[in-house]
Amino acid sequence: MKTIAFLLHNNFEQAEYEEVNNKLKDKGYKTLLITTNKDKEVQAMQQDVDKGDTFTADIFAREANVEDYDALVLPGGTVNADTIRGNEEAHRIINAINDAGKPLAAICHAPWVLINTGIAKGKTLTSYQSLQTDLENAGANYVDKTVQIDGNLISSRNPDDIGNFADAIDKALS
């Protein structure tokens, strides 16, 4: 059974974790939640404004062994993505997944992280609309599409794209 890891901090967009996670579990994948937070209890948000549910991470980022995962998903949420993009442990995991050529999927604000890790440069990506200039300034080619695939990178714009996003992750692992 293939394992898909989700990496997040706090104040992530609930749908981009929970719905994607559920869809991938329904397709037969084992999933795991990794956090860079100091506590395993992580707070979800609804549309970046209202508190959502809390979830319990399986492991801390410092304990993560990327050889155990077949793909990595980065949920969005403005505060979550902004925190992750400055986190060294997150960068270690993301770069190792990318270097191994494993599917690396980022939705909404999560492609911000791909800028800070250097992965975005020269790639064609989509994201939440407000990241277009940031991605272009980082040397990426921005497209406004439900799902954009560039090599092992899978990106999507927002929670409306979750179905297609999960299907693209599944297809990349098939």
Rounded-to-10 torsion of CA 80, 29, 1, 88? -10
Task: Say which of 109, 152, 154, 161 is annotated catalytic.
Answer: 109
Examine the residue annotation and report whether 91 is marked as an active-site residue of this protein: no
**111 close to 131: Cβ distance less than 8 angstroms:** yes
What H or E segment, with its residue span, contains residue 170? helix 162-173
Query: 83-92, pLDDT tens digit by residue?
Result: 999 999 999 9
Q: What pLDDT is attached to residue 120?
A: 98
Examine the residue annotation and report whether 109 is marked as an active-site residue of this protein: yes
Q: Which of 122, 118, 145, 142 is nearest to 132 (CA)?
A: 142
Residues of the chain with pLDDT below 50 are none
Please give the distance of CA 142 from its chain centroid, rounded to a whole number: 17
Q: What pLDDT is attached to residue 56?
A: 98
Distance CA 162, CA 120 (A): 21
Two structure tokens written together for 57: 């991470």
Q: What pLDDT is attached to residue 113?
A: 97
Counting the structural domains of the chain, the total is: 1
- Domain containing residue 155: CATH number: 3.40.50.880
pTM for the whole structure: 0.98
Q: What pLDDT is attached to residue 165?
A: 98
Task: Say which of 32, 72, 108, 119 is annotated catalytic.
Answer: 108
**5 close to 69: Cβ distance less than 8 angstroms:** yes
Range of the domain at 68: 3-173
**150 close to 123: Cβ distance less than 8 angstroms:** yes
